[in-house]
C-alpha cells in the first residue's frame, strides 16, 4: 500500500461513518413520526373509537355531540400529514442504504485490488536478490583516468573497493590505504576517484549492478559499484 492510499482510506472511512450516522438519524426520525401517528390514533380511539373515515354528523345531519369534533379533525389532519412525512422519509432511508451498500462494495473491490498488489510486491521482493549496502558514492572522475576508462560514472555507489566494504569502512582513508598498497603492482598512472561517504544507504532492488576493475594501476583491486538510474 502506498502512502497516497492512507489519506484515501481515511476519507473513505469518514464518508462511511457519516453515511451510517445519517441513516441512524433518519431511523430515529422515522420512529418519532410513527410514535406521533400512534398518539393521534389514540386520540381518535378515545373519541368513541372513531376512525379516519367515520362521519362526524348524526343521522339527521347535525354535528355529533358525543365526540370532540375539534380533537377528531385535528388528529385526522395530523395523521395524514405524518403519514406523508413517513413515506418521504422511508424513501430517503432506502436511497441512503443503497448508497451505503454501493460504497461498501466499492471499498471491498478496492481492498481486494490492494491486497493483490501487496501480495505481488511481496513475491517480487522475495524473489529479488539481497544487495549489500554502499559505503561511498563517486562524486567526480578525471577525464581519461583509469576509472573513467573502466566505465565508472559520477553518482555510482561503491559497495566494495578491494578489501574495503561496508563492514569495515570507516573513512575515505581506508580507500587511500588500499590504493597505496596497490601502487606499483601494475605500471600506469594512479587512479584518482573522489568519493563521499554515505551512511545508512539502503539500495533499492531495481538498481543495476556492475563489476568494475580499475585500470591500470588498480588492476588488482575489485570495485563493485551500483548505478542509480
Q: Which fold has domain 136-227?
A: Pdz3 Domain (2.30.42)
Residues 132 and 208 sit within 8 Å (Cβ to Cβ): no
Give the global pTM: 0.46
208-213 and 157-161: which strand pairing?
unpaired
Tens place of pLDDT per residue across the chain (229 aa):
455 555 556 667 787 888 889 999 999 999 999 999 999 999 999 999 999 999 999 999 999 999 999 999 999 999 999 999 999 999 999 999 998 888 888 888 988 998 999 888 888 877 766 667 777 777 888 887 777 777 778 888 787 777 888 888 887 777 778 777 665 444 344 444 444 333 443 333 333 333 333 333 333 344 444 444 3
* pLDDT on residue 169: 82
Residue ranges of domains in the chain:
5-127, 136-227
Residues 217 and 190 sit within 8 Å (Cβ to Cβ): yes
> Among all chains, which residue has been given the C-alpha cell 493483490?
116
* pLDDT on residue 120: 87
- Which residue in 145, 154, 216, 156 sits closest to 186, CA to CA? 216
Amino acid at each position: 500500500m502506498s502512502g497516497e492510499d492512507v489519506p484515501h482510506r481515511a476519507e473513505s472511512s469518514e464518508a462511511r461513518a457519516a453515511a451510517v450516522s445519517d441513516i441512524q438519524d433518519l431511523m430515529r426520525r422515522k420512529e418519532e413520526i410513527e410514535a406521533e401517528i400512534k398518539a393521534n390514533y389514540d386520540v381518535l380511539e378515545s373519541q368513541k373509537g372513531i376512525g379516519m373515515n367515520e362521519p362526524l354528523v348524526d343521522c339527521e345531519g347535525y354535528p355529533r355531540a358525543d365526540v370532540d369534533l375539534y380533537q377528531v379533525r385535528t388528529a385526522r389532519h395530523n395523521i395524514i400529514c405524518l403519514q406523508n412525512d413517513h413515506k418521504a422519509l422511508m424513501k430517503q432511508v432506502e436511497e441512503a442504504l443503497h448508497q451505503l451498500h454501493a460504497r461498501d462494495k466499492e471499498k471491498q473491490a478496492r481492498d481486494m485490488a490492494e491486497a493483490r498488489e501487496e501480495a505481488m510486491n511481496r513475491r517480487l521482493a522475495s524473489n529479488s536478490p539481497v544487495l549489500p549496502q554502499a559505503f561511498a558514492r563517486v562524486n567526480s572522475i578525471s577525464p581519461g583516468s583509469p576509472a573513467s576508462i573502466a566505465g565508472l560514472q559520477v553518482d555510482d555507489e561503491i559497495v566494495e573497493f578491494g578489501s574495503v566494504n561496508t563492514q569495515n569502512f570507516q573513512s575515505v582513508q581506508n580507500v587511500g590505504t588500499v590504493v597505496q598498497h596497490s601502487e606499483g603492482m601494475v605500471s600506469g598512472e594512479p587512479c584518482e576517484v573522489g568519493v563521499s561517504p554515505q551512511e545508512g544507504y539502503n539500495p533499492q532492488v531495481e538498481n543495476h549492478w556492475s563489476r568494475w576493475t580499475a585500470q591500470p594501476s588498480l588492476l588488482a583491486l575489485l570495485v563493485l559499484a551500483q548505478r542509480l538510474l
